[in-house]
Amino acid sequence: MAEYVLALDQGTTSSRAIVFRRDGTIAGQSQQEFEQILPAPGVVEHDPEVIWSTQLAVAREAMANASLIAEDIAAVGVTNQRETTILWDKETGQPIGNALVWQSRVSAPICEQLKAEGCEDVVREKTGLLLDPYFSGTKVKHLLDLHPGLRERAGRGEVLFGTVDTWLIWKLTGGRRHVTDYSNASRTQLLNIHTLEWDDELLRIFDVPRAMLPELVPSSAVYGETDAALFGCCIPIAGDAGDQQAATFGQACFTQGSAKNTYGTGCFLLMNVGDQPVASQNNLITTVGWYVGGKATYCLEGSVFVAGAVVQWLRDGLGLIETAAEIEELSATVEDSGGVYFVPAFVGLGAPHWDPYARGAIFGLTRQTTAGHIARAALDSMAWQTCDLLDAMQKDSGVPLAELKVDGGAAVNNTLMQFQADVLNTIVKRPQVSETTALGAAYLAGLAVGFWEGLHDIEKNWALDAEFHPVVNMEHREEQLAQWRKAVGRSGSWV
The response to whether 243 counts as a known ligand-binding position is: yes
Residue 223 is assigned to a ligand binding site? no
Write the pLDDT tens digit of every residue in 33-68.
Answer: 999 999 998 899 999 999 999 999 999 999 999 999
Q: What is the mean pLDDT of the chain?
A: 94
- 308 is known to lie in a ligand binding site: yes
The C-alpha atoms of residue 124 and residue 207 are separated, in whole angstroms, by 17
* Residue 84 DSSP symbol: -
Q: Does 364 belong to an annotated binding site?
A: no
Number of domains in the chain: 1
Is 7 exposed, middle or buried, given 0-12, 13-18 or 19+ CB atoms closer than 10 A?
Answer: buried
> Is position 282 annotated in a ligand binding site?
no
Residue 61 counted as an annotated binding residue: no
Instruction: Decide if 457 is inside a domain.
Output: no
* Chain segment 325-357, per-residue pLDDT in tens: 888 899 999 999 999 999 999 988 988 998 988
Quote the CA–CA distance of 267 and 17 in Å, as a whole number.
21
448 occurs within a structural domain: no
Strands, E assignment, 306-377: 341-343, 361-363
Q: Is 441 within the bounds of a domain? A: no
Residue 255, in any domain of the structure = no
pLDDT given at position 303 = 86
Q: Nearest-CA neighbor of 418 among 461, 362, 470?
A: 470
Q: Is 495 exposed, middle or buried (0-12, 13-18, 19+ CB in 10 A)?
A: exposed
SS3 225: strand
Residue 312 is assigned to a ligand binding site: yes
DSSP-derived 3-state class of residue 289: strand
Buried b (16+ CB within 10 A) or exposed e, 292-326: beeebbbbbbbbbbbbbbbbbebbeeeebbeeeee
The CATH number of the domain where 194 resides is what? 3.30.420.40
Instruction: Tell me the backbone φ, ψ of residue 389, rounded to 5 degrees.
Output: -65, -50
Q: Tell me the pLDDT band of 257, cut-offs 50, 70 and 90.
A: confident
If we measure between CA atoms, which residue out of 31, 28, 29 comes closest to residue 66?
A: 28
pLDDT at 376: 94
- Residue 276 labeled ligand binder: no
Each residue's pLDDT tens digit, 138-167: 999 999 999 999 999 999 999 999 999 999
Confirm whether 207 is domain-assigned: yes
Residue 413 in marked binding region? yes
Q: Using CA atoms, how far apart are residues 99 and 84, in angstroms rounded to an integer?
A: 7
Tell me whether residue 394 is annotated as binding.
no
Q: Is the pLDDT of residue 468 over 90?
A: yes
Judge whether 394 and 269 are in contact, CB under 8 Å: no
- pLDDT of 67-92, one tens digit each? 999 999 999 999 999 999 999 999 99
Does residue 267 lie in a domain region? Answer: no
Tell me if 272 sits within 8 A of 391, measured CB to CB.
Answer: no
Determine the number of helices (DSSP H) and then strands (DSSP E) in the chain.
Answer: 17, 24
12 assigned to a ligand binding site: yes
pTM reported for the whole predicted model: 0.87
Known binding residue 107? Answer is no
Dist CA 454 CA 6 (whole Å): 18
The reported pLDDT for the residue numbered 351 is 86
Tens digits of per-residue pLDDT, 418-458? 999 999 998 999 999 888 999 999 999 999 999 999 999 99
User: Does residue 408 belong to any structural domain of this protein?
Assistant: no
Consult the annotation and say whether 339 binds a ligand.
Answer: no
User: Is residue 495 over pLDDT 90?
Assistant: no
pLDDT in tens, 361-409: 999 999 999 999 999 999 999 999 999 998 898 888 887 787 899 998 8
> Distance between CA atoms of 336 and 266, rounded to whole angstroms?
23
Q: What pLDDT shows up at residue 305?
A: 85
134 is in an annotated binding site: yes
Biggest CA pair distance of the chain? 65
Q: What are phi and psi of 168, to 5 degrees?
A: -65, -45
Average pLDDT over residues 231-258: 94
Is 31 part of any domain?
yes
Which residue segment(s) compose the domain that 31 sits in? 4-243
